[in-house]
Chains A and B, each alone.
Chain A
Amino acid sequence: MRALRDSPICLEGIEAIDEGRRAAPGREVRRPYDFQEAYEVRAARTRGSWGTGPLGLAVRNFLSFARQMAGNPAAVIGGVVILLYVAVAIFAPWVAPCAPDQVALSERLAPPSWIGEFPLGTDQLGRDILSRIIYGARVSILVGVLTIAISVTVGVGLGVVAGYFRGSFDRIVSRFTDLLLAFPYLIFVIGAMAVLGPGFWNLIWALSFKGWVEFYRLARAEVMSEKTREYVEAARALGRSHAAIICSEILPNVVHSILVLGTLRMGNMIVLESSLSFLGLGIPPRIPAWGSMVNDGRRYMLTAWWVATLPGLALVGLVLAINLVGEALRDVLDPRLKEG
């Protein structure tokens, strides 16, 4: 089975890296450009900055990275927007004009008005939409961060071990990932939520249960290719232990790709969460979440368009910002994944 069944963003790049995949026998792995060279350049760069190099060099590398990111207007805009969302989510009780569950039946479906009490209008129960959107950011951001954190930890952990030691462990885990990849992501999560029932943690587990596979494949492929590099062989010859080699020689070289993929996938996770909440299978209705808010508004689309559209707009804004930053990270850190 092939890698990354439903990965909308940097698929072609990952597809190419994933040299370890067991595809149709003899399938050609597409190499967009010289991998060897890219690896060597990157190996040299990161070895200097993370491995044995002095602290000063690491700082300088970080500064150069920061300069490159700052020079990309899309990345700056995306970063600012993300910070805004995060700040609003953290300080929701202070920022939001009302409590998210404060019902005002007399003010049902009030339209947005800049001067009125409800800048973005109210929903069918008279709850302030702006406040609910602000509280909804908490759910989306938390789901994005937590699922990616779990997926990266599990995926990279297993991937490094499998790619470094190979053997039966690799074979078993890889078979299991093949099986998981046979399910479309959304179908898998919907099926899981159908069994588990709606709930914040249920959703996190359902999303992470499949989310780690991509990181596993990426880490495994990178480790398998890094392992053959001269500097790893040199470290082996010097008698360093496997653990030391993995931590100091191999992991630093994988970090960049993982960071890029993690950022790009975080947007996906947030979209998946709100899609499930939209279907009523994700976050329970009492917690304000963008997806379920859109669902609430469906019945009032003709009379009160703002109930269904505005929470979605907030969602698109956040996902767009995350994807902008993710693409900028990819361009700076991992040019191999770059398109075009």
Chain B
Amino acid sequence: MRRTHVQILERVLATIPIALGVAIAVFIFMRLMPGDPVDIMIGEAGGVTQEDIHALKTELGLDQSLPVQLGRYLAGLVRGDLGYSIPSSRPVAVVILEALPATMELALCSLLFALVIAVPIGVVSAVRQRSFIDRTSMAASFLGISMPAFWLGILGIIVFSLHLRWLPTSGRITYGFEPATITGLFTVDALLTGNMPALWDALKHLALPAATLGAGVAAVVARVVRSSMLEVLRADYVLFARAKGVVERAVTIRHALRNALIPTVTVVGLQVGTLLGGNMIVESIFGWPGLGRVVVDAIFSRDYPLVQAAVMVYALTFVVVNLATDVLYTYLNPKMTL
């Protein structure tokens, strides 16, 4: 077992250069944009003197050479100083931290939704290969793969919010229902404080965005679970388990699914990328006050420090999720522990 920990530590250490690379890449990319950032930032304001521009440049550190800027930027990053948002002059880190719980809640719920739907569908489709259930669910998942999230979200709003009036069209919670803040995730806070009206309201607001965002992930995961289950169900150890007299359900779950989940973990990790990207779209459709909407707004208000920091937060989240996936893979697959 000690060997596992060493492997995981190695994996964690191997992530550091990638994370550093991501930070540097975002910095360089943002500096590559055509034109002077300050000109772009205040270009539309008009009536700005040369001194103002110079002052702003000094304030932003843009009068320094690029390596110096990069060094300052990385040093700031380590301290959690991501610069200041241009229109509001608020620290970027604060803006992001405020938006993060909403985004996390949405992403986690989507992932949960996707897994709860996809894993059983994949298992049943594999066990009953070529049955009606199998064909229907695989056709649905094919459709899910081809369907863009923004269109699915719009359909959902038209059907469930505007016509059936079951669910709210946008927002995270009805004004006045907010539970006391503990974690920042409304559903969790509502549960912890026993605030059932808030929980119900939060869930109603979550349902459509989470389903929209989770649908694509569920489609991919269902297909992966099905194909790896089909492969595993043909394995000798499944037959041997039956020859031991193990109950069929235990054969499917304990022997087959346990092994089919090993490749699935990797795919789910990769799907988090889709989830993070789709998050921006879904948040802007449903007016979800999270990081994605903040970024989209920041792009239109040319708030470059905020865009830069947010892109980095997304990329680093993805790096960390992949690290977590690898660690989980190591634990799930005993062959990794030598």
In the complex, is A directly touching B at CB under 8 Å? yes
Interface residues of A (CB under 8 A from B): 1-2, 4-9, 11-12, 15, 23-28, 30, 32, 178-179, 182-187, 190-196, 267, 271, 274-275, 278-281, 291, 294, 297-298, 301-302, 305, 308-309, 312-313, 315-316, 319-320, 323, 327, 339-340
B336 CB–A CB distance under 8 Å:
yes
Cβ-closest chain A residue relative to B308: A191
Cα A4 to Cα B267 in complex, Å, equals 10
Q: Are B319 and A184 in contact (CB under 8 A)?
A: no
**Best-buried of A11, A183, A267, A279 by chain B (most CB within 10 Å):** A183
Cβ-closest chain A residue relative to B21: A179
The contact sample of 11 A-B pairs, CB cut-off 8 A, is A2-B270, A28-B336, A182-B21, A184-B273, A190-B311, A298-B154, A301-B154, A302-B158, A309-B154, A319-B146, A340-B226
Q: Are A182 and B148 in contact (CB under 8 A)?
A: no
Identify the stretch in B29-37, B71-79, B83-91, B201-209 within 8 Å (CB) of chain A at 4 or more residues. Answer: B29-37
Cα A9 to Cα B219 in complex, Å, equals 9
Complex contacts, B269 vs chain A, CB 8 Å = 2
Q: Are A186 and B154 in contact (CB under 8 A)?
A: no
Complex contacts, B33 vs chain A, CB 8 Å = 195-196
Q: Are B276 and A187 in contact (CB under 8 A)?
A: yes
Q: Are B299 and A194 in contact (CB under 8 A)?
A: yes
B82 CB–A CB distance under 8 Å:
no
Cα A313 to Cα B14 in complex, Å, equals 44
Q: Are A182 and B154 in contact (CB under 8 A)?
A: no
Q: Are A8 and B216 in contact (CB under 8 A)?
A: yes
Contact check: which of A9, A27, A315 meets B148 at CB < 8 Å? A315
Cα A24 to Cα B14 in complex, Å, equals 9
Complex contacts, B300 vs chain A, CB 8 Å = 280
Complex contacts, B150 vs chain A, CB 8 Å = 274-275, 278, 291, 294, 312
Complex contacts, B333 vs chain A, CB 8 Å = 28
Complex contacts, A302 vs chain B, CB 8 Å = 158, 162
Q: Are B277 and A187 in contact (CB under 8 A)?
A: yes
Cβ-closest chain B residue relative to A278: B150
Cα A192 to Cα B270 in complex, Å, equals 21
Would A179 and B307 be within 8 Å (CB), given that A184-B273, A279-B281, A339-B223 are in contact?
no
Would A5 and B280 be within 8 Å (CB), given that A30-B263, A301-B154 are in contact?
no
Complex contacts, A184 vs chain B, CB 8 Å = 272-274, 276-277, 314-315, 318
Q: Are A190 and B295 in contact (CB under 8 A)?
A: yes
Complex contacts, B154 vs chain A, CB 8 Å = 294, 297-298, 301, 308-309, 312
Cα A185 to Cα B267 in complex, Å, equals 15
- Give me the 8 closest cross-chain CB pairs, A-B, nearest first: A186-B277, A312-B151, A339-B227, A6-B273, A184-B273, A195-B33, A191-B311, A194-B299
Q: Are A178 and B18 in contact (CB under 8 A)?
A: yes
Would A320 and B146 be within 8 Å (CB), given that A187-B277, A275-B281, A278-B281 are in contact?
yes
Q: Are B231 and A26 in contact (CB under 8 A)?
A: no
Cα A97 to Cα B224 in complex, Å, equals 44
Cα A186 to Cα B277 in complex, Å, equals 5
Cβ-closest chain B residue relative to A180: B25
B326 CB–A CB distance under 8 Å:
yes
Complex contacts, A301 vs chain B, CB 8 Å = 154, 157-158, 162
Complex contacts, A313 vs chain B, CB 8 Å = 151
A2: min CB distance to chain B, Å: 7
A119: min CB distance to chain B, Å: 20
**Best-buried of B151, B158, B216, B224 by chain A (most CB within 10 Å):** B151
Q: Which of B276-292 contact A (CB under 8 A)?
A: 276-278, 280-281, 284-285
Q: Are B263 and A182 in contact (CB under 8 A)?
A: no
Cβ-closest chain A residue relative to B303: A194
Interface footprint category on B: 35 or more
Q: Are A23 and B326 in contact (CB under 8 A)?
A: yes
Scoring B residues 1 to 36 as 1 if CB is less than 8 Å from chain A, else 0, what string do you get? Answer: 000000100110010001101100110011011100
Q: Which of B156-202 contact A (CB under 8 A)?
A: 157-158, 162
Interface of B is mostly: helix
A124: min CB distance to chain B, Å: 15
Cα A1 to Cα B336 in complex, Å, equals 17
B230 CB–A CB distance under 8 Å:
yes
Complex contacts, A312 vs chain B, CB 8 Å = 148, 150-151, 154-155
Complex contacts, B19 vs chain A, CB 8 Å = 182
Q: Are A190 and B280 in contact (CB under 8 A)?
A: yes
B66: min CB distance to chain A, Å: 16
Would A190 and B22 be within 8 Å (CB), given that A4-B270, A24-B326, A298-B154 are in contact?
no
Cβ-closest chain B residue relative to A324: B142
Q: Which of B123-147 contact A (CB under 8 A)?
A: 126, 129, 142-143, 145-147
Scoring B residues 214 to 248 as 1 if CB is less than 8 Å from chain A, else 0, what string do you get? Answer: 00100110011011101100000000000000000
**Best-buried of A291, A312, A327 by chain B (most CB within 10 Å):** A312
Complex contacts, A271 vs chain B, CB 8 Å = 146, 148
B330 CB–A CB distance under 8 Å:
yes
Q: Are A179 and B295 in contact (CB under 8 A)?
A: no
Contact check: which of A8, A187, A195 meets B32 at CB < 8 Å? A195
Complex contacts, A339 vs chain B, CB 8 Å = 223-224, 226-227, 230
B294: min CB distance to chain A, Å: 12
Q: Are B263 and A183 in contact (CB under 8 A)?
A: no
Cα A280 to Cα B301 in complex, Å, equals 13
**Best-buried of A184, A267, A294 by chain B (most CB within 10 Å):** A184
Contact check: which of B148, B270, B296, B311 meets A5 at CB < 8 Å? B270
Complex contacts, B263 vs chain A, CB 8 Å = 12, 15, 30
A27: min CB distance to chain B, Å: 7
Q: Are B151 and A183 in contact (CB under 8 A)?
A: no
Cα A320 to Cα B276 in complex, Å, equals 23
Contact check: which of B10, B21, B148 meets A275 at CB < 8 Å? B148
Q: Are A279 and B280 in contact (CB under 8 A)?
A: yes
B69 CB–A CB distance under 8 Å:
no
B335 CB–A CB distance under 8 Å:
yes
Cα A183 to Cα B317 in complex, Å, equals 9
Would A281 and B299 be within 8 Å (CB), given that A275-B148, A275-B149, A305-B158 are in contact?
yes
